[in-house]
Each structure stands twice: as structure tokens, then as C-alpha cells.
Amino acid sequence: MHRTGYHVVDNSPWPLAVVLSLLGLTSSLVSWVHNGDLILFWFLYSFVVLVLALIRWWRDVVVEGVYMGCHTGYVVRGFRIGMILFILSEGAFFATFFWSFAYYTIGEWSAFSVWPPLGVEYINPWKVPLLNTALLLGSGVSVTWAHKAVVMMNYSKFEDSELWRMQTLMGLGVTIMLGLCFTFVQGYEYYYCSFTMADGVYGSCFFLMTGFHGMHVIAGTIFLSVNLIRVFFYHFAEYHNYFGFDAAVWYWHFVDVIWIFLFFVVYIWPVTPLN
């Protein structure tokens, strides 16, 4: 067969398994929101299927790229375009929340009522939110360090690449630790928050925006952890493509940028004298 440089993927059950498990998760959560009755068995079953399907799917992709040589330059270019489009779609997703928050802050709501609503105790942006901002900005520095190290590891001789590999592992380890700290601190903030998601449109916007961002932080932490394991097993050494690492770094920087916007819009804006 004539080699075109493109990879025709074999039939796989994992996309269907992921879609069905996500359907189970969302349907059980919607049932919980509307009826207050979470179908616990269906939720747990869907979650377990999702985790197992993703692990097997990622394993197949790693085997195709590292051991079978299917990820040619053309394939990696397609991956890069797909990741860029995915990040743009995620940006549009968060843009809808920012638009909603701005609409209720300076739009019709502020003309007839008080924003934020009376009785809502503001979260001091210079305490826990500022700490989370420092954690994420620090993780952006450490993941950039790891990214530069993996590039040097990929194009160095074995003796030199081992030094860069250790730096990559350290940079990723620091980033993952900071991501876990961010998740813990945000959970602490939620636990001691004086308002809930049921406290009007302000509570809904706050928890939707920060909660979805927190979910992206958890996903990014898992993404980086998978790459930490791959670096440990030399998957990016000696001229192997390291797009998986690139994708994780791009995603983490996207999470950092979104948090900066959240910090100024959600935490600082409501307590400014002009509001």
C-alpha cells in the first residue's frame, strides 16, 4: 500500500463508550438538580465506565504514536490544529459566562436592583483568591520550565538528555503539586462561602464560572500527570514527537489565562467603589 503519511485509525469501541458514559453522568446529574434525587448507581457506573474507557483509549493512542510509528508529521499537524480549535471552543464556552456576568452587572439587573444582591457577603479577593492566583501563576512558570526541558531532552544526546529529563520530571511534579493545592484551596473557599448557588443569579454565575474552571484545573492536572508517567518511561526522548506534552502545556496555560480573567471579573469587580 502506498504510504501517504496519514494514519487511518482502526475501529475502536472507546469513543462510543465515552459518549454513553457521559450521557449517563449528565442525565443522573440533571435528575439530581431537578428532582433532588441522584441516581447513585447509574452515576457511579457511568463514572467507572468513563475512566476505564479513557484509560484504554489513551493507551491505544500512546501505542500508535510511540511503538507503531503512526504519528507522522502530517498526523501531528492535524493534532495541533485540533487542539487549537478545542482551546478556542473552550474560550467561547467561558466567554458566555463572562457575558452573562457582565450583563447582570451593568445591564438590566443593575437598573432595577442591587448587584451583587443585598445580603451577599463578598469574598475578599486579597485573601484566598489571591493565593489561588499565585498558585496558578507559579504553576505556569514551572510548566514552562518543564516544556523547555522536554524540548532540549528531545534533541540532545542520551547523556545530556538524561539531565533534561530530570528537569522535566521536576517541573511537572511542581506543576501538579501546585494544581492540587489550587483545587484544595478552592474547595476550602467553597466550604466557607457565605452564599450558595441558589442565592440568585449572582450565586449561579459565581459557582458556574469558578466551578467549571476548577473542573478544568482537575482535568489539566490529570493531563500533566499522564505526561509525567510518559516522561518517566522515555516516550519523548530521542526525536520522538512530544505533541502530547505540548497539548498539556497549552491547556494549562489556557487555564491560567481564564483564571486571571475570573480573578478580576468575579472577585475584584464586585467590590470596586464604581460598582
CA distances to 118, 187, 209, 247 from 101, rounded to whole Å, are 17, 22, 9, 30
| pLDDT greater than 80 at residue 157 | no
- Give the three-state DSSP class for 50: helix
pLDDT at 233: 87
Question: Can you tell me the distance from the alpha carbon of 71 to that of 245, in angstroms, rounded to the nearest whole number?
Answer: 14
Separation of alpha carbons 216 and 210, rounded Å: 10
Of 100, 104, 102, 98, the C-alpha closest to 260 is: 98
User: From CA 38, how far away is CA 27, in angstroms rounded?
Assistant: 10
- pLDDT at residue 5 above 70? no
As a whole number of angstroms, the distance between CA 102 and CA 111 comes to 13
Average predicted confidence (pLDDT) for the chain: 86
275 — pLDDT class (breaks 50, 70, 90): very low
Q: What three-state secondary structure class fits 240?
A: coil
pLDDT at 2 over 50: no
Q: Please tell me the predicted confidence (pLDDT) of residue 33.
A: 74
Say which residues have a Cβ less than 8 Å from residue 81's Cβ, sequence separation at least 6: none
pLDDT of 272 reads: 66
Q: Classify domain 87-271 by CATH number.
A: 1.20.120.80
Whole-number Å distance between alpha carbons of 257 and 140: 10
Name, in order, each residue with C-beta under 8 angstroms of 158's C-beta and a sequence gap of 6 or more: 237, 238
Return d(Cα 252, Cα 3) in angstroms, integer. 35
Separation between Cα atoms, residue 175 and residue 164, nearest integer Å:
16
Domain ranges of the chain: 1-70, 87-271
According to the model, what pLDDT value does residue 108 have? 57
Q: pTM for the complete prediction?
A: 0.88
- pLDDT at position 3, please? 58
Grid coordinates of 138: 507559579
d(CA 163, CA 156): 10
Confidence of residue 83 (pLDDT cuts 50, 70, 90): very high
**How far does CA 183 lie from the centroid of its chain?**
12
Question: Of 4-13, 79-88, 118-127, 145-154, which gets the smallest average pLDDT?
Answer: 4-13
Backbone angles phi, psi at 70, to 5 degrees: -80, -20
| Identity of the highest mean pLDDT range in 28-32, 36-40, 86-90, 163-167 | 86-90
In angstroms, the CA 247 to CA 52 distance is: 22
> Residues near 171 by Cβ (< 8 Å), separated by ≥ 6?
142, 143, 145, 146, 147, 149
Residues in the chain: 275
Pick the CATH number of 1-70 from 3.40.640.10, 1.10.287.70, 3.30.465.10, 2.10.109.10: 1.10.287.70
